[in-house]
Structure 1
Amino acid sequence: MFIAIFSIIIVLVVLGALFINLSPEFGGTISDSQKEQFSKSEHYKDGVFENLGGVTMSMGFGDYVKGLKGFFGPQINTRPKGAVPINALDALELANYKGPARMVWFGHSTFLYQSYGRNILIDPMLGPVPAPHPLLGGKRFSEELPIAIEQLPQIDFVVLSHDHYDHLDYGSILKLKDKVQMFFTPLGVGAHLVEWGVAEDRIKEMDWWGETSFEGFSIKCVPAQHFSGRGLSDRGKTLWSGWVIKNDGANVFFSGDSGYGGHFTEIGEKYGPFDFAMLECGQYNKLWHEIHMMPKETAQAGVDVKAKVIMPIHWGAFKLAMHPWTDPVIRVSDKAKELNLPIVTPKIGEFIYLAEPTSNGGVWWKNVD
């Protein structure tokens, strides 16, 4: 019996090692020349990137045990019981749109941003599972997307916040890469894109507070309080960030994944006020509050960055934590009301026009629960 169990363990270890080393899902690796380049960054020390102030997720062994108990314990409304409503998008209407700035949410942290004939994708995770293999992650809450990737219009540029699977999806990049003019990423994330067939001259990597312009847009890479990594040994090897995207149509802020910190105030003072702020709210736990905001902090971050209107993101598509799936939107809405901060909570696939951001969806999640 012992020999049989030991043999099974050895086989599983070998298969796991082969999967990690051979699967393209894990992306590229950072070269020595890139490491030398990164060493010029104030946020890069001893071969890894660090948060401002050296903030890390301070979980001890006991906290990990608590976390595991949560995942294997009772599951209370962590996924919707019914179908999440999806507004279908028309490919021809999207391709022909030349009007003022508007956003459409695909769930979680993915957006199509259209402004006067330009098309931008933000963290295009359009796959069914936020994991390197379908068996390693939970499925998307909705069976379909508002529109298939193949029917999206030509994309002027993509911005990526970091390399975690729920933000950077291998299958989505393969389907998108030939219709995207340029990719903007934090330092190091471009290595994954190159590994997946994107030409290096269509990738622009940026450090925090870096600024550039493209097709009439001003693009700024700004700090976030998080971490990175796609495998077992690459934590912190690439940078994570938020983004500021500005043109004549609007000034918008995308937080990426981030714990709450003073960087929001700094971003607001340097680049605000914002017409629209997409702020992480969901997949949180007190055990990892340093790297994911609690809903009350999300609303406060909206005040800090001087947002005219906020939208909670990082919820509504995947289960990555143990809170009830509607908890983020309910709690952040309550706090935003307390702070007198306008908030929109659209259905997936619903357009939000930034000149007057309102939602027709109301409290749509109440009809799903």
Structure 2
Amino acid sequence: MEAPAEQAAQRALARRLRGAAGLAALAGLAWVARDVPAALGGRLSGARAERAARSPQFRDGAFRNRASTRTMAGSPDRNLVRELIFGKQKRRPTAAVPLVRPADPPAAATDRELGVVWYGHASALIEIEGHRVLVDPVWSDRCSPSALLGPRRLHEPPVGLHELPTVDAVVISHDHYDHLDMATVRALTAGQSAPFVVPLGVGAHLERWGVPEDRIVELDWAESHRIGGLTITATAAQHFSGRGLRRDGTLWSSWVVAGAHRRVFYTGDSGYFDGYAEIGAEHGPFDVTLIQIGAYDRAWPSIHMFPEEAVAAHLDLRGGLLLPVHWATFNLALHDWSEPVDRLWAEAKARDVRLAVPRPGERVVVDDPPAVDGWWQSIA
């Protein structure tokens, strides 16, 4: 048995160690939290603010949709917070999401070959006529300004950012955290030389994160930017924007990526609206459409599409192959994890729409897509 003095000394040492551990934990939290203000992004000022104010989409101090929309609404028969905590929905897969390392384009691929690699959620690589366009890349563990709080990934990225091929452009649809991620942008700024093509105002975030001004291309709806043989055009969407408490200080957009022979459309986030038919008439037909299908709810029907509306949008756009995005990776709504793609598959069959549902990382050749095999159903 130890002497009382030795026991007292050990207790004092234990208290000091616990105190040190607590200070270390607080220091760690402070270190993590220091990036939160930066992750919120920048504010429009100077020439950037003046240009935003001249946009037809900018009215009464903010960007607006063409039609009146609501981003969130309560319902007298529902408590969304209670559903989120106690709901019986199966919002996570029951096993690991199968990942695929993207196959390289075949050596015999022609300039007319069109491929898409979906990395999860809305992140995808468009391979078009010898060019590569990366859309909405998010590689962080959470879609949040904090590394400790916010929706966490349900699967890892299928490849590391450093393993991406050289890209010709990085296209961002809007500034929400699940589409615009500070850590990913900083890594791409250091590891790639491509320009960031973004909606009006989003350049303020990029500038704060160290993206050189000559690599920032900001576009209003109907404006285009040429990169090699590609034309990248910002087109209308029905959504909203905001990081932190300020809403709609930057524009949101859908995108057309067009080469000499092939055309791709990406919705970004949007509710279903008549703009899709207009885009299809002006810019279509499209060889493939990348369409948002997840994170919907009747509490916010104006700004995210239901799966059936995604099929309707694809038809309005005069699309060939439909490749769904914005599902599987983050929990951002109350529906079951697999519900978006189950409903989409049923509607696509009912309306005779060509569909590809790749595993994250799987390369889809648009002219020869893999058959839909229901891979997600065994882990739903």
Instruction: Give the alignment's TM-score, normalised by structure 2.
Output: 0.86
**Shift of the alpha carbon at 1:226?**
0.5
**Shift of the alpha carbon at 1:88?**
1.7
Other-structure match for 1:280 = 292
Other-structure match for 1:12 = none
Other-structure match for 1:49 = 63
Other-structure match for 2:15 = none
- List gaps (5 residues or longer) in structure 2: 1-28
2:63 matched to 1:31?
no
Checking the alignment, whether the CA contact within 8 Å between 1:250 and 1:354 is kept in structure 2 is no
The whole-number CA distance in structure 1 between the counterparts of 2:95 and 2:325 is 20
Checking the alignment, whether the CA contact within 8 Å between 1:97 and 1:117 is kept in structure 2 is no
SS at match of 1:213: strand
2:329 matched to 1:317?
yes
2:363 matched to 1:351?
yes
Checking the alignment, whether the CA contact within 8 Å between 1:252 and 1:275 is kept in structure 2 is yes
The whole-number CA distance in structure 1 between the counterparts of 2:75 and 2:312 is 31
Please list, as runs of the form range in 1=range in 2, the aligned pairs for 1:157-176 lying within 5 A after superposition: 157-176=169-188
* Residue number among 81, 84, 87 corresponding to 2:94 in the alignment: 81
The whole-number CA distance in structure 1 between the counterparts of 2:287 and 2:323 is 11
Other-structure match for 2:135 = 122
- Classify 1:39/1:97 alpha carbon distance in 2 versus 1 (closer, same or farther; 3 Å): farther
* Residue number among 105, 108, 111 corresponding to 2:118 in the alignment: 105
The structure number with the bigger radius of gyration is: 2
- More displaced, 186-195 or 25-34? 25-34
**Shift of the alpha carbon at 1:98?**
6.2
State the aligned residue count. 348
The whole-number CA distance in structure 2 between the counterparts of 1:43 and 1:114 is 31
Checking the alignment, whether the CA contact within 8 Å between 1:98 and 1:115 is kept in structure 2 is no
- More displaced, 319-328 or 347-356? 347-356
Other-structure match for 2:339 = 327
Aligned AA for 1:80?
P
Aligned AA for 1:345?
V
Identity over the aligned pairs, expressed in percent?
Answer: 36
Aligned AA for 2:330?
F
Other-structure match for 1:368 = 379
Checking the alignment, whether the CA contact within 8 Å between 1:20 and 1:26 is kept in structure 2 is no
| 1:96-130 residue CA offsets vs partner (Å, 9 max, x unmatched) | 89642211000111101223442210111111111
| 1:174-224 residue CA offsets vs partner (Å, 9 max, x unmatched) | 111130321100000111111111111111100111122111101110011
| 1:286-327 residue CA offsets vs partner (Å, 9 max, x unmatched) | 000110011111111111111011111100111100100100
RMSD over aligned CA atoms reads: 2.3
- Classify 1:138/1:261 alpha carbon distance in 2 versus 1 (closer, same or farther; 3 Å): same
**Shift of the alpha carbon at 1:54?**
3.2
- More displaced, 119-128 or 30-39? 30-39
Checking the alignment, whether the CA contact within 8 Å between 1:78 and 1:325 is kept in structure 2 is yes
Aligned AA for 2:240?
F
The whole-number CA distance in structure 1 between the counterparts of 2:143 and 2:339 is 20
Other-structure match for 2:25 = none
- Classify 1:121/1:96 alpha carbon distance in 2 versus 1 (closer, same or farther; 3 Å): farther
- List gaps (5 residues or longer) in structure 1: 1-14
SS at match of 1:71: helix
- Classify 1:58/1:316 alpha carbon distance in 2 versus 1 (closer, same or farther; 3 Å): closer
Aligned AA for 2:275?
H
**Shift of the alpha carbon at 1:60?**
4.7
The whole-number CA distance in structure 1 between the counterparts of 2:320 and 2:47 is 42
Checking the alignment, whether the CA contact within 8 Å between 1:121 and 1:159 is kept in structure 2 is yes
2:208 matched to 1:195?
yes
Aligned AA for 1:314?
H
Aligned AA for 1:181?
A
- Classify 1:355/1:361 alpha carbon distance in 2 versus 1 (closer, same or farther; 3 Å): closer
2:224 matched to 1:218?
no
| 1:350-369 residue CA offsets vs partner (Å, 9 max, x unmatched) | 1111233x125611101222
Please list, as runs of the form range in 1=range in 2, the aligned pairs for 1:146-157 lying within 5 A after superposition: 146-157=158-169
